[in-house]
C-alpha cells in the first residue's frame, strides 16, 4: 500500500492569510504564516526601533521589503535594507534591531514543520 504526500504549496496568497500578533521580547509586531514542505514562510511587520532582547539560534533566509534593521551576531553586525536578502545558518546566534523611522517588513523562511 502506498501513501500519497500532499503537494507542497507553490503560490502563497498572503492577502488571504490574516495577520496574527507576534511577540518576542523587544519586538512585538504582526505576522502572516504559511507552512509547506517542512518550512515556515512568514511575512513579518515589526515596529520602527524594535530591539529583540533574546538571541535566536535557528537559521533563517529572508528578503527585506521595507525598513532597515541590523542583524547582530556574537562577533559582528550586518545592516539590512530594502532589496537585500539574508541567509543565517543554523546555530549562529543572532538577534535583530530595527532602525527608527519606519516599520520593517520582511519575508522570512526557516525549517519548521507545521504545528
State the chain's mean pLDDT as an integer.
Answer: 92
Q: Where are the domains of the chain?
A: 17-110
Angle at CA of residue 42, ends 85 and 18, nearest 5°: 140
Give me the architecture of the 17-110 domain, per CATH. Answer: Sandwich (2.60)
97-114 residue pLDDT tens:
999 999 999 999 999 888
| pTM of structure | 0.87
Q: Where residue 15 falls among pLDDT bands split at 50, 70, 90?
A: very high
* Per-residue confidence (pLDDT) for residue 105, from 0 to 100: 98
Amino acid at each position: 500500500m502506498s501513501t500519497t504526500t500532499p503537494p507542497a504549496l507553490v503560490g502563497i496568497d498572503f492577502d488571504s492569510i490574516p495577520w496574527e500578533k507576534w511577540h518576542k521580547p523587544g519586538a512585538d509586531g504582526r505576522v502572516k504564516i504559511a507552512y509547506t514542505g517542512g518550512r515556515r514562510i512568514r511575512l513579518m511587520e515589526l515596529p520602527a526601533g524594535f530591539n529583540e532582547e533574546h538571541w535566536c539560534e535557528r537559521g533563517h533566509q529572508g528578503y527585506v521589503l521595507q525598513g532597515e534593521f541590523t542583524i547582530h551576531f556574537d562577533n559582528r553586525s550586518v545592516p539590512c535594507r530594502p532589496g537585500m536578502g539574508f541567509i543565517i545558518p543554523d546555530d549562529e546566534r543572532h538577534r535583530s534591531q530595527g532602525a527608527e523611522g519606519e516599520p520593517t517588513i520582511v519575508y522570512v523562511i526557516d525549517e519548521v514543520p507545521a504545528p
